[in-house]
Amino acid sequence: MLRIREATEDDNEALLRLEAASPQGTGISILIDRDDYFYRSRLHGESKVMIAEEDGNLVGVMAFAIKDALLDGGVERVAYFYDLRGEATYRRSMKRGLFRLWKAVVAEIEAEGAEFIYGHVKADNYESLSVSTKMGAQVVASFDILSLPSLRGRVFELDRHLDHLDEEVARIEEAVGERCMRPPHLLDAYARGAELGYLEGIFRLKAGRSSAQVSAWNLSQIYRGRVLHMPIELRLLGAVLNPLARLFPLPHVPVVGERIRYLQLFDPICRGPRGALLLKQLIQQMRRNAFRRGIDILTLFVYRDDPLATIPRFFPEKVLHYHTLVRPLAPSRLPDPPLYLDIRDI
């Protein structure tokens, strides 16, 4: 018999076991190691983790957060869904429990008066995409995650720009404008990140009329990745580069079994004729600084149609593709691109 309920702290270990059985990716397969399954929910003011149980066994989970976001020039309530997964054998049996879980979450969200439900799903996560689309969600935008190893080499002095955080965030808000899905007040998320120690800084390079900047977030105190599988081409590349990386400024390619610490880069902004080149230079400097502090991978998040920045090309690099899906609750209410990628969602 299927039972759907809100998860509690007593479910933490069972939820972590379910996550451990659901590594991410089909090429590079990575498992997220965390002690607290609910850490993402703590970043939001209103959130719930809903679980499905059958005969006392955990077979599915779906979490959501209710929040305010800009939409059509005004502030509306929307719902963000995340951590949608099912137990592997249960998924393969094509039982209806995951769809019932979806419907239960939708009912909870509708009661909160949200305009729509949205979430980010990896482009090759076909099972989650299938469940989401069958429940009425549709792809409205796509974003990429550039993943780069840190780099041995000279350390650069970079101003973290945290002494006047309100002014720095105001600069970001001015650049982003009233883009759909942007929180009404970016300072709330940035101030919370600084308070929890996750926000490392807002780093910037300038040259004449050109500039580039990114915000850096380090959540390695919360979770780390563990590599379960690497494609043959990256394993061969690692076999060549990793011994040399001990002596020279070359990237270290993660190997199977290795645990990974991340530095996550958000809100990339390029201005002026040399802005894109400065962004690449800034990321290179941050790669070297990150290596000195034990960071393994830097990730940069950018919507494909973001007018403020495009993802620079590096060697070696790995670009992961994600879709943003929206399931309308009000008739035909969808956000207009380009969208804003909320740091708390990732």
Q: Are residues 58 and 186 in the same domain?
A: no
The rounded distance, in Å, linking the Cα atoms of 47 and 34 is: 19
Q: Supply the pTM of this predicted model.
A: 0.84
- The answer to whether 119 touches 63, Cβ cutoff 8 Å, is no
Alpha-carbon distances of 6 from 21, 47, 60, 70, rounded to whole Å: 21, 11, 12, 28
Q: Are residues 116 and 224 in the same domain?
A: no
- The answer to whether 250 touches 234, Cβ cutoff 8 Å, is no
Q: Are residues 66 and 101 in the same domain?
A: yes
Q: Are residues 95 and 197 in the same domain?
A: no
Task: Give the CA angle between residues 267, 270, 272 to the nearest 5°.
Answer: 160
- The answer to whether 181 touches 345, Cβ cutoff 8 Å, is no
Output the six-digit token pair for 163.
């002494």
Q: Are residues 217 and 201 in the same domain?
A: yes
Q: What residues make up the domain containing 260?
A: 147-322
Q: What is the CATH number of the domain that holds 297?
A: 3.40.630
Q: Are residues 191 and 291 in the same domain?
A: yes
Q: Are residues 269 and 206 in the same domain?
A: yes
Q: Are residues 341 and 281 in the same domain?
A: no
Q: Are residues 41 and 102 in the same domain?
A: yes
Q: Are residues 126 and 13 in the same domain?
A: yes
Q: What is the CATH number of the domain that holds 333?
A: 3.40.630.30
Q: Are residues 181 and 304 in the same domain?
A: yes
Q: Are residues 312 and 341 in the same domain?
A: no
Which of 124, 123, 60, 51 is CA-nearest to residue 89? 60
| Predicted confidence pLDDT, tens digits, the chain (346 residues) | 789 999 999 999 999 888 877 655 555 666 667 778 888 887 787 899 999 998 888 989 999 999 999 998 899 999 999 988 888 776 555 456 778 888 899 999 999 999 999 999 989 888 778 878 888 899 999 999 999 989 988 999 999 999 999 999 999 999 999 999 999 999 988 998 898 888 999 999 999 999 999 999 998 877 776 676 677 777 777 788 788 777 676 677 777 767 788 899 999 999 999 999 999 999 999 999 999 998 988 999 999 999 999 999 998 788 989 999 999 997 767 999 999 999 888 8
The total number of structural domains in the chain stands at: 2
Please say whether the dihedral angle defined by the alpha carbons of residues 311, 19, 41 and 99, taken in this order, is positive or negative: positive
φ and ψ of 158, to 5 deg: -125, 130
Contacts of residue 153, Cβ cutoff 8 Å, sequence gap at least 6: 249, 288, 291
